[in-house]
Every structure is written in structure tokens, then in C-alpha cells.
Copies of this chain bind each other. A is one copy, B any other.
Amino acid sequence: MTAKEEAQEENVIYVGNKPPMSYVLAVVTQFNSGSTEVVIKARGRAISRAVDAAEITRNRFVTDAKIKEIKIGTEAITNEEGRTSNVSSIEISLSK
């Protein structure tokens, strides 16, 4: 992993089942610590929450942040019984 890739990994916020504001706080903290780009990632039902977190961050807390890129994709997930199912994913890159 190059130094650049490492730096990017640190800027990734994974959105799960907590309230959106938890992730907004994480994103804001990341920007305040000097990052110029933060990537918000989510899968499945958490995708809506990732969009909420990005929008709340941009509208209320880091108003100079712009949406640099949004990517969607499909990931294969294997459950405990060995079955594979597909789940959608999103990556929202915010930069300022």
C-alpha cells in the first residue's frame, strides 16, 4: 500500500445502523483534523443513511464541502451458511 492509499483509507467513514448524526460527527471531525477529502461508504439499507450524513454535513456543518464523486456498485456477501447474496453499495466523496 502506498502512502497515498494509506492516507485515503484513513479518510473513509463506514455508515452502519447508528443514527445519521454519529456519522456526520465522524465526517466533520475528519475535515477538522485537516483532511481535504472524506469518503462515506455504505451497503444495503444503510445507503440512505450515508446520503443523509453527506447532506447534513454539507448543508449544516461543512458548507464549503462539495460532492466530488458518487459511485454505486454491487458486492457479493457470503453468509454463515456459505450462501452468497448481492448487496448494493455507495461511495460518496466529499472534498473542500
**In whole angstroms, how far apart are the Cα atoms of A14 and B78 in the complex?**
31
Instruction: Give the number of chain A interface residues (Cβ < 8 Å).
Output: 21
Known contacts A70-B70, A72-B67, A92-B72: A51-B55 contact under CB 8 Å: no
| CB within 8 Å of B: which A29-75 residues | 44-48, 51-52, 54-55, 59, 67, 70-74
Give which listed residue, B45, B51, B67, contacts A88 with CB less than 8 A. Answer: B51
A90 contacts partner chain B, Cβ-Cβ < 8 Å: yes
Give which listed residue, B44, B46, B67, B72, contacts A54 with CB less than 8 A. Answer: B72
Query: Is B67 within 8 A of A51, CB to CB?
Result: no
Which of chain B's residues have a CB closer than 8 A to the CB of A45? 45, 48
Could you list 27 examples of A-B contacts with CB < 8 Å? A44-B48, A45-B45, A45-B48, A46-B48, A47-B47, A47-B48, A47-B51, A48-B48, A48-B88, A51-B72, A51-B88, A51-B89, A51-B90, A52-B88, A54-B72, A55-B72, A55-B73, A55-B74, A55-B86, A55-B88, A59-B74, A59-B86, A67-B72, A70-B70, A70-B71, A70-B72, A72-B92
